Amino acid sequence: MGFEEGFHWHDQRTSAKQEVVIRRIKLKAGGVYQLVPSTMMPYLSGHTREVSNGLWLRHWAVPYEVIAAVLGRDASYWERMEYGLARISLVGSLVKTGSVPSHLAADEKITYRNGQECYIGLTAGGDCVLGAELSLKEDTVHLAEAYGVFKAEAQTVEPTYCPLSVNLDGWQASNAAWKGLFEQVTIVLCFLHAYLKIRDVGKGLKDRFGELGNQLWAVYRQADKVLFRQQMGALLLWAQVNLADVDRVRLKVETLCGKVSLFETAYDHPACYRTSNQIDRPMDSLDRYLYAMRYFKGHRSSANAKIRAWALVYNFAPFSKRVQNRAERPKKSSRFEEFNGFIYQANWLENLLIAGSMNGFRCSHKIR
């Protein structure tokens, strides 16, 4: 951009619309940029202190009309405020200290637009949402396009970025999409999904399912590949003896045991996500958001903007006081603060706008 070569003050003016002073700087390398106070929304469309509560309510899919009735303005104003967040990079606005997470979890959320089924490619790491893009189909080409937005944003922050691992549920199109984007990434098959498939067909076993569940999680808890394979073999023998009369359950267990080589890749990366919990938490929140607003209507771009806005607010919105007082996250106000160890400003929306300045790629250090 040329900032490293220096700049000087160019001029200033007072906004007649908001009565704030707007200054501009001129880069020595060429180009003039406007400096807007972080207390103002982009294009001087409002004050952050007035807009933050409305966008926080929107994160819970409160209708625009209701927000307008409570906080003023009109429904279209609040819709524009939400859309305005979508241009900010999810990765660039989040990663201010350290590096982009090297271990990821990803999955597709089924949703609907104008009554037609579509999908949201969600990427998570470090307990934050790193990617959220709409895909019209669940095939390799469309999923690669959706997840490719995360790749582009991550490599803008770190040009040589390549994740070490990504936890997936086994869908072949997802596997192919990630391998196409990051050839060196290790795909970790989610053990939880395998367990849930067995549970779905084994609920009628009653007491025997409790023992089966213990056997399954005993496999998961093994400390290395050798012990994992041994325990998987013991599980297979146990199932063939104790589930001989329940073919549907035994076959599911045999299928799981046949994927031992896929599960044991997790031991190559001790810090990887072996289950999908990392992606399930934001996906549960997204599911409630989508259901509450009865999914998407209108153009694809507006649907995608809402998804990205939801993801940004998920990373930056304040935790409840009850959550903040938990021992495992003392005094942390948001996921952004958990990830970076600091915040720019106490107001979460102002914090987001500072982190997202220049689309999130230029403000890379803590401001004192």
Nearest to 123 by CA among 86, 174, 160: 174
**Is the pLDDT confidence value at 362 over 60?**
no
Residue 367, pLDDT score: 38
What pLDDT score does 30 carry?
81
In the 8-state DSSP scheme, what is residue 38? T
Residue 137 has a pLDDT of: 94
| pLDDT of res. 90 | 96
Tokens of 86: 């979508």
Orientation angle between helical segments 191-202 and 207-220, nearest 10 degrees? 170
pLDDT given for residue 368 in this prediction: 33
Tokens describing residue 270: 């001790």
Given this model, what pLDDT does residue 1 score?
Answer: 61
Rounded average pLDDT over 200-219: 85
Residue 26 CA to residue 137 CA, distance in Å, equals 45
Chain position carrying tokens 């939880």: 192
Q: For residue 166, what is the enclosing H or E element? A: strand 165-168
Place of tokens 């220049």: 358
Q: What is the pLDDT of residue 96?
A: 92
Residues in the chain: 368
Residue 212 one-letter amino acid: L
Instruction: Tell me the C-alpha distance between 104 and 293, whole Å.
Output: 28
106 Cβ neighbours under 8 A, 6+ residues apart: 121, 122, 123, 124, 131, 147, 166, 167, 168, 174, 178, 279
Cα–Cα distance for residue pair 26/332, rounded to 1 Å:
37
Quote the mean pLDDT of the chain: 90
Q: Which of 101-105, 209-213, 261-265, 300-304 has the lowest mean pLDDT?
A: 209-213
Q: H or E stretch including 7?
A: strand 7-14
DSSP state of 5: G
Contacts of 228 (CB under 8 A, 6+ apart): 219, 222, 260, 263, 264, 267
List, for residues 48-94, the tens digit of each pLDDT value.
999 999 999 999 999 999 999 999 999 999 999 999 899 999 999 99
Mind listing the domains of the chain with CATH numbers? 1-35 (no CATH), 97-189+276-298 (3.30.420.10), 191-268 (no CATH)
Q: What is the rounded distance in angstroms from the CA atom of residue 329 to the CA atom of residue 318?
A: 13
| pLDDT, tens only, 270-306 | 999 999 999 999 999 999 999 999 999 999 999 999 9
Which tens digits make up the pLDDT trace of 165-205?
999 998 999 999 999 999 999 999 999 999 999 988 887 77
pLDDT, position 244: 85
| Range name among 16-25, 114-123, 156-165, 306-315 with the lowest pLDDT average | 16-25
* Residue 366: pLDDT over 80: no
Per-residue pLDDT for 138 more than 80?
yes
- Among residues 314, 312, 308, 307, which one has the least CA distance to residue 355? 312
> 324 near 346, Cβ under 8 Å?
no
Terminal-residue alpha carbon distance, the chain: 23
- Calculate mean pLDDT across residues 299-324: 91
Confidence check: pLDDT of 324 > 80: no
Is residue 350 pLDDT above 90, yes or no? Answer: yes
